[in-house]
Structure 1
Amino acid sequence: MYNVQVYVTYKDSVLDPQGQAVQGAIQRLGFEGISQMRIGKFFEMQVTGTDQATVIEKVEAICDRLLANPNMEQYRYDVQLVEDAK
């Protein structure tokens, strides 16, 4: 079994008004040195598979078909093997 964490964010070319609003609030609170705030989505799942390549193929299909809008968003993921607890 594999633990998979998926991060979905807007592509750099897409305006992120929510990120800009949060960045403005951070500045109004007096925090300095914060820039390029982007808002995204995070998904965590456990995936059963015989090998990591099969799991990656499944995760990419899920991301392409459901979790991310390929016109506006990009994604990345981390895949970690879960050792059987004995």
Structure 2
Amino acid sequence: MKATVTVMPKQGVLDPQGEAVRQALGALGFDGVAGVRQGKVIELDLADGTTEDTVREMCEALLANTVIESYRIEIG
């Protein structure tokens, strides 16, 4: 069983990595980029029977800093 967890900075939280990417794209001539938010994607290979609630617990305990990040879980 596979799960994909997408972690992104919450709206309103400064994203210095995203801003650095936006500036670098501008320096490369890509002037149409108004904003960039950079996050991470985590793919988990799970034992059969692992529940979405268990994956949520993993996110809350380790995979996401829930003070400044939100996450989305996709099972399948």
**Other-structure match for 1:66:** 62
Which blocks of at least 5 consecutive residues in structure 1 are unaligned?
A: 81-86
Identity across aligned pairs (percent)? 39
Cα deviation, residue 59, structure 1: 0.5
Q: How does 1:1-86 map to 2 (within 5 A)?
A: 2-50=1-49, 55-80=51-76
Normalised by the length of structure 1, the TM-score is 0.80
Could you list the structure 1 runs, at least 4 aligned residues long, displaced by more than 2 angstroms after superposition: none
Which blocks of at least 5 consecutive residues in structure 2 are unaligned?
A: none
Normalised by the length of structure 2, the TM-score is 0.90
Q: Distance in 2 between matches of 1:61 and 1:49?
A: 17
Deviations 1:33-68 (A, max 9, x none): 223201111111111243xxx520110000011011
Count matched residues: 76
Larger radius of gyration: 1
